[in-house]
Structure 1
Amino acid sequence: MSVRAALALILSSASPALAEDLQLAFPLDCTLGQDCHIQQYMDRDPSAAAQDYRCSGLTYGGHKGTDFALPDLAAMAAGVTVRAAAPGVVKGLRDGMQDGAPLAQVQGRECGNGVVIDLGAGWETQYCHLKRGSLSVVEGQEIAVGDAIGLVGQSGKAAFPHLHLSLRHNGEPVDPFDPEGSSCDVEPSKTLWQDTPPYRPGGLITLGFADHVPTYADIKAGNANRGTLPTNAPALVIYGYSYGTQKNDVLRLSLAGPNGTVIEKDVQLEKPQAQSFRAIGKRAASAAWPAGRYDGTVTLLRDGRVIDEKTGRLTVQ
C-alpha cells in the first residue's frame, strides 16, 4: 500500500468528530517569512527519493514531520516559545540534552529534548529539538491549545535551531498539510491546520552586509551582518542566506549607493542545498566610499520565476 493510500485509510477510519474537528494551531511565537520559515515538510515518497506534499523537494528521505526553523543561533538564544498546536495530555518528555551536540552523542535520542502529547483516539503530536532546560510541562499535565511547552533549540539530530512537529494516528505519521493524500498538482482541499501556512518551495532566510566575505559559521550564528560601515571600509559586501535551493536556481544580489549601483551579479547554484549562502562585493578604490544610504536586494529565482526576495539597508558614514 502506498503512503498516500495508507494516510487516506487512517483518516477514513477515524471517528467522524476527530476527522472533522482535529485542527492544529501554529506552534511557534514567530511570523513565517520574517523571523522563521518552514525548512522541510514531511516526505511523501515511499521510495528512496523524497517529495513533499506538493511533489517538490523541500524534504528529505524518511522525514516524518514539519520543521519550523529560526534564522540563526542568535534567535535561539533570544528565546522563541513553542506552543501546543492541539489540546491533550503530556504522554512523555525528555530534557537535559545539549544543544548542538555531536551526532555521535544523540544516537537513539534523535528527537533531542522533546514532548509527546496524547490528543485522544489514537492521535498524538510530538515536539522535538527543544532548548535544554526550557521545557515547561510535566508528564500527565493537561494541555490547552497555545500553552507554552518550551523554547526552540538545537538538541538531538539537528543541524540548525528548529522545531520538528510530528502528527501521528495509531503510530502512523500523518501530513497535516494533506492528510488525505490528494494530488500534488493542486492545493489540497483539506488540511489539518486552523490557518494553513502558505507553501514555499524554498526561500531566503536573510540578507546582510559586511566589509569582507563572512564565514558560514558567523552567518549561522547571526553575528555577520553590519548595518553600518565606515567610509574607509576595505570592501562593501552583500550576502544572501537561503534555504531549500535547487540545482540551477539563481541568487541575484545587488547593492546600490548614493552614486548608483555598486555591484550586481547573478550567481547560479550548482546543486540542491538545505541551507547555503552566497556573497558578492567590491573592494575600495583609492577614494573613500560615498557616505549615505546603500540599498541591498537579494532575489531567489527558479526557472526565471521569483521564489523570494529580501531587501535591506546599509549606512556608510
Structure 2
Amino acid sequence: MRDRQNGLTVSFQDLNGYDFNVPALLEAHPVTMLMSVMLALAGLFFLPASARAFSMELPVNCTGAEFCAPQNYFDHDPSPAYADYVCGPLSYDTHTGTDIRISYADMERGVAVLAVADGVVRAVRDGEAEGEISLRGKASVTGRGAGNAVVVVHGGGFETQYSHLKRGSVAVRSGQHVKAGHVLGLVGLSGITEFPHLEISVRHQDRPVDPYMGLVSGGCGGPREVLWSRAALHSPVLTYRASGLLEAGFFNAPPKDPIALLRRHGWIEGRAGDPDVLVFGVQVFGPRSGDVWTLRVVGPDGQILAESRTTQDRHQAQAMRYVGKKRGKGWQPGFYRGEFRLTREGAGDVVSVVRGIEVP
C-alpha cells in the first residue's frame, strides 16, 4: 500500500511469511475489506482500557492464604469524608492506594508481592522495622511511611508502588527489568500500618490513579476504565466485599485489643485444656452504622451460656467483639460452640461464623 504523502510502499506479512497486497485485496474484495477495517476499529474503541493501554495483573500470590482481600480502597470523596470506588466506606481520607490485607499467620508463612506489569525498577527500600504503628508511634517512621517498598516504571507514563513489605524480603534492585508476575518481595508490616498488607499505588504522569476507575475523574460510582486485566479483576483476591470476617475463635481470657485478637494471644484451638474462662471473640472489617452484632457461647446441651447483642454506632474499617463465661457450677465437659452474626438492615446476615471447641 502506498503512502501518498511519503511515497512509501507498505506490505503486511502474516506469521507464515506471505505478503498481503492490500490494494489488490481492496479491488477484489471491497466489502469484505471494509468490514474488516470497521471491525478492527470497533475492537480498538470498545475494548476495555486494560486491553488498549496499561493492563495490571494480580499484585500478590495468595494461593493457600487464610485471608487475602482489599481492606481499603482509593478515596474518591474530595471532602474530609471518604468513599471507595462504589461509594462505600472502605477507605479513609486522602488515601490513594489499594490495601490488600492478609492474616498474621499468612505473613509469617510468606505471601509474595508481584509486579503487575512489565517495567523497570526505579527505587527500592529495605531494612525498615516492622510492627503495628499504634505501638511504635509515627515518629519512628518519619519520612518513611511506605516502609520497605519497591517502585516500578511502566510504559505510557504509568508507575506502580508496592509498600509495607516484609523486612529483608525485597528481591529486586534499582534498574532491574521485571516482567508481570516477577516476585518483588513479601507482604509485611513496615511503615505506617496497623495490620499486614500490601498497599499498591498507581500513578500516571505523577498523578494518583485508582486502578478500579482508570484515567477517568467522575468520582465514585461514575464511569470506569478499569486498569486491572479481566483475569485479575475477576479473581477472588480483588472482589469487592463490603464486610467480612477477619478472625474468630476461642480464647482463655478477653483479648485486650484488636491486635491481641488478630495475633491470637491466648488462642485456644481445637481442645481447650482446663480453662477458668471461655471467651469467644470475633473481628470483622467494614462494619457499618446500624449493623447488629450477635455473639453466643452455647454449651454441649444447647444451653446459651453467654450472649451479647450490640448495635454498631458508626462505620469502621475494622472492629472486634467478644463474649465469655467464667467456669463455675454446671460447667459440663463436651463440645462448646461460638456463634456470630453481623446483621445489616435490608441485607440480613452479612457476616456469620460458627466455631467449636472440646472442653474436658
TM-score, normalised to structure 1's length?
0.85
Quote the offset at 1:223 in angstroms: 3.5
Counterpart of 2:245 in structure 1 is: 204
One of 56, 60, 63 as aligned partner of 2:88: 56
| Residue pairs, 1:136-215, within 5 angstroms | 136-179=171-214, 180-181=216-217, 184-185=220-221, 190-194=225-229, 195-196=232-233, 197-215=238-256
- Pair 1:298-2:340 in alignment: yes
Q: Is the 8 A contact 1:232 1:288 kept in 2?
A: no
| Residue pairs, 1:109-128, within 5 angstroms | 109-128=144-163
Counterpart of 2:137 in structure 1 is: 102
Residue 52 of structure 2 aligns to a residue whose secondary structure is helix
Residue 157 of structure 1 aligns to a residue whose secondary structure is coil
Structure 1 Cα separation of the partners of residues 148 and 129 of structure 2: 9
Q: Do the aligned partners of residues 168 and 183 (structure 1) sit closer, same or farther apart at CA in structure 2, a change above 3 Å counting?
A: closer
Q: Which moved more, 1:201-210 or 1:113-122?
A: 201-210
Q: Is the 8 A contact 2:211 2:226 kept in 1?
A: yes
Counterpart of 1:13 in structure 2 is: none
Quote the offset at 1:281 in angstroms: 1.3
Quote the offset at 1:258 in angstroms: 2.6
Q: Which moved more, 1:23-32 or 1:152-161?
A: 23-32
Q: Is the 8 A contact 1:254 1:261 kept in 2?
A: no
Structure 2 Cα separation of the partners of residues 201 and 296 of structure 1: 23
Structure 2 Cα separation of the partners of residues 170 and 183 of structure 1: 19
Structure 2 Cα separation of the partners of residues 299 and 60 of structure 1: 26
Quote the offset at 1:310 in angstroms: 2.9
Residue 245 of structure 1 aligns to a residue whose secondary structure is coil
Q: Is the 8 A contact 2:69 2:239 kept in 1?
A: no
Structure 2 Cα separation of the partners of residues 80 and 214 of structure 1: 26
Uncovered stretches (5+) of structure 1, i.e. residues with no partner:
1-15
Q: Deviations over 1:92-134 (max 9, x none)?
A: 1111111124310212211111000011120011000111111
| Residue pairs, 1:18-33, within 5 angstroms | 20-30=52-62
Alpha-carbon RMSD: 2.5
Quote the offset at 1:181 in angstroms: 4.8
Larger Rg: 2
Quote the offset at 1:301 in angstroms: 2.3
Quote the offset at 1:268 in angstroms: 1.6
Structure 2 Cα separation of the partners of residues 198 and 38 of structure 1: 8
Quote the offset at 1:80 in angstroms: 1.7
- Pair 1:131-2:172 in alignment: no
- Pair 1:241-2:247 in alignment: no
Residue 75 of structure 1 aligns to a residue whose secondary structure is helix
Aligned residue identity for 2:122: K
Aligned residue identity for 1:270: D
Quote the offset at 1:31 in angstroms: 6.0
Q: Deviations over 1:194-227 (max 9, x none)?
A: 3322211232201011232122242132344212
Structure 1 Cα separation of the partners of residues 156 and 272 of structure 2: 62
Counterpart of 2:37 in structure 1 is: none
Counterpart of 2:44 in structure 1 is: none
The count of residues paired between Structure 1 and Structure 2 equals: 299
Q: Going by fraction, where is helix more abundant, 1 or 2?
A: 2
Residue 260 of structure 1 aligns to a residue whose secondary structure is coil
Q: Do the aligned partners of residues 61 and 296 (structure 1) sit closer, same or farther apart at CA in structure 2, a change above 3 Å counting?
A: same
Q: Is the 8 A contact 1:43 1:64 kept in 2?
A: yes
Quote the offset at 1:36 in angstroms: 2.2
Q: Do the aligned partners of residues 259 and 181 (structure 1) sit closer, same or farther apart at CA in structure 2, a change above 3 Å counting?
A: farther
Q: Is the 8 A contact 1:90 1:141 kept in 2?
A: yes
Counterpart of 1:77 in structure 2 is: 108
Q: Is the 8 A contact 2:86 2:220 kept in 1?
A: yes
Uncovered stretches (5+) of structure 2, i.e. residues with no partner:
1-47
Q: Do the aligned partners of residues 230 and 154 (structure 1) sit closer, same or farther apart at CA in structure 2, a change above 3 Å counting?
A: closer
One of 293, 305, 311 as aligned partner of 2:354: 311
Q: Is the 8 A contact 1:295 1:313 kept in 2?
A: yes
- Pair 1:280-2:323 in alignment: yes
TM-score, normalised to structure 2's length?
0.75
Residue 154 of structure 2 aligns to a residue whose secondary structure is strand
Structure 2 Cα separation of the partners of residues 106 and 183 of structure 1: 32
